[in-house]
Structures are given as structure tokens and as C-alpha cells.
Structure 1
Amino acid sequence: MPTLIPVADPADPRIEAYRDIRERDLVGRQGLFVAEGRVVLEKLLLSRAYQPLSLLIAANRAEALASLLAQVPEGVPVFTAERAVLDAIAGFPLHRGILAIGRRIDTPDADALLARLPPRATLLMLSAIANHDNMGGLFRNAAAFGTHAVLLDSDCCDPLYRKAIRVSVGAALLVPFARLARGEDGLALLARHGFTAIALSPSGETELADLKPTPRTAVLLGAEGPGLAPDLIARATSVRISMTPGLDSLNVATTSGIVLHHLMSKARH
């Protein structure tokens, strides 16, 4: 286990990155992100696309975390603090008692990411997903159903925002993603890499139950309310999910789970 470094002063400059976490969420972290909780830390330590820069844990949790801390790469400092000090650093009661600062080290552009994918692959292409809870749920479902990658348009929020990572239960650190440049034609990019695009819409022409996936399928999802832009729907295979009459929409993360489960099930037959 690495040597633990006690911190007694919330103003200690060594833990500056952890100070006032919620306020820092609003202004960004210059390419860094916060991982919160044991499960998320486990995912961070497993990932090849990210690296931990430091850890800050509650002193009374150190012994119970010994096996996990043993996986921390050499040279990564592990700070400990009593609960009162930890809460003062974070700016709110930190019930999980585990934080880490991480950095993404694998940042492919969208074209390079698609070029890496296997001959049979499924991906999500997201448009204007601005809610961090939904983003976390989308990544959690993507991981659960074996999605190979996620593409984000320029109006999507950051999957590495602290809340998005937490809601994804660390899946945002496991599913590869890339962001399209503003104005980049995502559908043209998908076509160049052999993907069939399906666009989810309440008015979709094809019922999901009747959809037969191709070896490479991209699922297009838009923000709740406005949904996908009409031109995207027109250029893709539009798909709807049947539901009770009088209701025509689902939470976008719920929609992703239904669609990805369908695609995974069909791929097995």
C-alpha cells in the first residue's frame, strides 16, 4: 500500500484541486476530473485511457481500502484527512469519503475512434445532451449492453463532469468516447466507417421490435423535449418505441437502455 500523507489543514496547497468541488464543477478543471466513491475509483484504476494524479480519502477508511490502495500506481500521492477536514476541503459533507483527481490520457478524435472499432460494433451518437444525470445514465447503459463507443456533438455536456461520472457508476471511464467538432457531419463520418444510423423518434417509421441491426449500428439520440434535429432523422432510419396510447416519449437514458438491449439480443441470434 502507498504511504499515506496526512492533511490537517483544509488550506493545505497540496490538495488545492479538491477544494470547493461543487464550485469548481461550474468553471472546469483544465482537463482534469474528479472521481468520487469506491466503485468509481476502481474503474479509474482499471482504465487504460485515464490516470489518477492523486487521491484524498477519509482517514477512517484507509484500512478498509487497503486492497484497493495497493493498486494505486507508484508515485501517485494518497492524502488522508479526518472527516471534518475532508468536508471543509470539499465544501460539503463527503459521505463516501473517497476522492481522486484524474486525467484523460487517450483523447482520439471521432474519426480515429471509429477506425479502432471491430468489424461488428454498436455505438451511440448523442446530440445536445446537456443534463449530467442523463449523460451518466447513457454511459451506464452503454457499458451494460456492450456498446463500443459514444460520439458526442459539440452541444453535449462533459461525460467527465463529477456528477456524470458518479451517475454512470464509473462507466464514463470505461466506454471510449470522442466529440465531434462543431459543424462536423457525424452521419457522413458514420457512413464512411460503414455504420447504419438509426434515429430514435416518437414518429419513427420503423417499430423497434421489427428492426434488424446491421453489423455496424449507430444509435442517434437527442435531448429530451426537442429531440433530434429533423435533418438528422431524415438522413437516418427513423425508429420508434411502441408505448401506451397518449404517451409518446421516454427519458433519453431509458430509451437508450431499451434500444441497446434490443440490439444486443438480436446480435446473439
Structure 2
Amino acid sequence: MPVIITIDDVADPRIEAYRDIRERDLVGRQGCFVAEGRVVIEKVVSSADFRLNSVLVAAHRLESLADVLGRLDVDTPVFAASQAVVDAIAGFALHRGLLAIGRRADAPSAEALLGGLPARADILVLSGIANHDNMGGIFRNAAAFGVGAVILDSDCCDPLYRKAIRVSVGATLLVPFAQVDRGTDILDLLDCHGFATVALSPRGERELQHMAVADRNAVLFGAEGPGLSPELMGRAHTVRLSMAGGFDSLNVATTSGIVLHHLFAASR
């Protein structure tokens, strides 16, 4: 069990990383991420790909969180403060009473990630997904339906942003992902690893129920509004969802859930 360090002063330099988290998360985290709540932190502790630098907990939650804290490395600092001090440090009311600063052990390349997948695998490819709620929702669906990996282009937001982690219920810590450099030919990379590529669009050439399912499927999603680029659309099979007349699109996270369920059911 790590030693509990009591914090009484909001200005204590030892908890600098937790100060005004909302603003700091937007401007840069020096390679670290913020984990919030018991469920998310349990996933970090259970993962070989992530490490915790420290934990900040409301003192009245120490007893109920003893089992989680007991799984930390003994040299991980655990800072405990009153709820009022914790809220003042974070800059908002922290109802879950538990925050942690973590870091990714290693960020694999897309090439290495794809090369390590089994012969039967479904993956997601995200282009320009800049909304953290959508990113979290997509990763939650990816975890629910057994996606092997998520590949992000250079215009996607960070899946390890605090809100994306929270919305995903920690799934961004479970589903392997890699981000490619600008200018990378993603479709060429997918082809080299034997993936059949399917691009989702309201203008898709065939409906989802008629989509051919291969052993290796890569499903491409673009940002709401602009969608996928014409160049990507022109080189992939395109699929659309059937909808009632007068409506042609869904939230991208919702769409990903429908498509992934279709692939999951087909694989079974």
C-alpha cells in the first residue's frame, strides 16, 4: 500500500499537475493524461501499457478506495485532501473524489500495431475526429465489439484527453491505437496488411446489410459535417445506413456502434 500524503494547501507544489485540470488538458499535458474515477483508474492499474505517476483522492473516500489504492506500486504518491481542497485544486467539483496522472508506456507505430493483429481482425480508421465526446463514444463501441485496433490520422484529437477517457468509460485505455503522421497513405498501409476497407458515408454505394465481410475489415469514419475526403472515398468500398425518408445521417459514434455490431454478428 503506498504511503498517503496529506495535502492541506491548494498551493502545495506537489500537486501542481492537478491544478486547473480542465484548462491544462486543453493546452498540453507533456505526454501525460488525466484519469478520473474508480472505473477508469482500475483500468489503468490493470494495463501493461500505462503507468500512474500519482493519485489525488478526497480523504473521505480513502476507505472505500482502499482496494484500488492497494494495487498501486508502493512508490506511487497518493495525495489525500478534503473534498473542498480537492475541488479547489482541480478547479471544479470532483464528485468522484478520485483523480490520477498517468502516462503511456510506449506508443506503437501503426505499422507495428497492424502487424501484430491476428488473421481475423476488425479495426477502425478515424479521420478528422476532433470532438472528444465522439472519440470516447467510438472507443467505447470498439471495446464492446472486439475491435483489434484504432488507427487515427493526424487531424484526430487525442484519445487520452480526460473527457474522451471518461466518455469511453476507460475504453481508450483498453483498445490499442496508433496515430499516423500527416501525409501517410493510410489505405496503402491497410492494403499491405490485408485489410478490406469500407468507408461510411450517407452517399455510400451499398447499404450496410449488403456489405461484404472479410477476415480483416477496416472501417473508415470521418468527422461529422465534412466526412471522409473524396480521395479516401474513391479508393474504398462505400457503405451507407438505411434511414427514414428526409434524414440521412447519424452521430458518428452512434454510426460506429451500428456498423461494429454488424461486423461482430457476422464474425460469430
TM-score range, shorter chain: over 0.9
Task: Report what 1:216 is aligned to.
Answer: 216
The secondary structure found in structure 2 opposite 1:175 is coil
Counterpart-to-counterpart distance in 2, 1:2 and 1:134: 36
Match of 1:14, as an amino acid? Answer: R
Task: Report what 1:40 is aligned to.
Answer: 40
Asked whether the 8 Å contact 1:200–1:238 carries over to 2, the reply is yes
Task: Report what 2:155 is aligned to.
Answer: 155
Match of 1:236, as an amino acid? Answer: A
Q: Which moved more, 1:2-11 or 1:173-182?
A: 2-11
Asked whether the 8 Å contact 2:3–2:74 carries over to 1, the reply is no
Asked whether the 8 Å contact 1:212–1:266 carries over to 2, the reply is no
Task: Report what 2:265 is aligned to.
Answer: 265
Counterpart-to-counterpart distance in 2, 1:247 and 1:106: 43
Give the Å deviation of 1:164: 0.5
The secondary structure found in structure 2 opposite 1:122 is strand
Counterpart-to-counterpart distance in 2, 1:73 and 1:252: 38
Q: Which moved more, 1:70-79 or 1:131-140?
A: 70-79
Deviations 1:39-84 (A, max 9, x none): 1111111111111110000000000011111111221111100011
Task: Report what 1:244 is aligned to.
Answer: 244
Counterpart-to-counterpart distance in 2, 1:46 and 1:230: 41
TM-score by length of 1: 0.98
Where does 1:22-171 land on structure 2 (aligned, <5 Å)?
22-171=22-171
Counterpart-to-counterpart distance in 2, 1:164 and 1:186: 23
Counterpart-to-counterpart distance in 2, 1:23 and 1:208: 41
The secondary structure found in structure 1 opposite 2:71 is coil
Please list every run of 5 or more consecutive structure 2 residues that lacks an aligned counterpart in the other structure.
none
Runs of 4+ in 1 over 3 A off after TM superposition: none
Please list every run of 5 or more consecutive structure 1 residues that lacks an aligned counterpart in the other structure.
none
Counterpart-to-counterpart distance in 1, 2:243 and 2:210: 15
Corresponding residue pairs, total: 268
The secondary structure found in structure 1 opposite 2:5 is strand
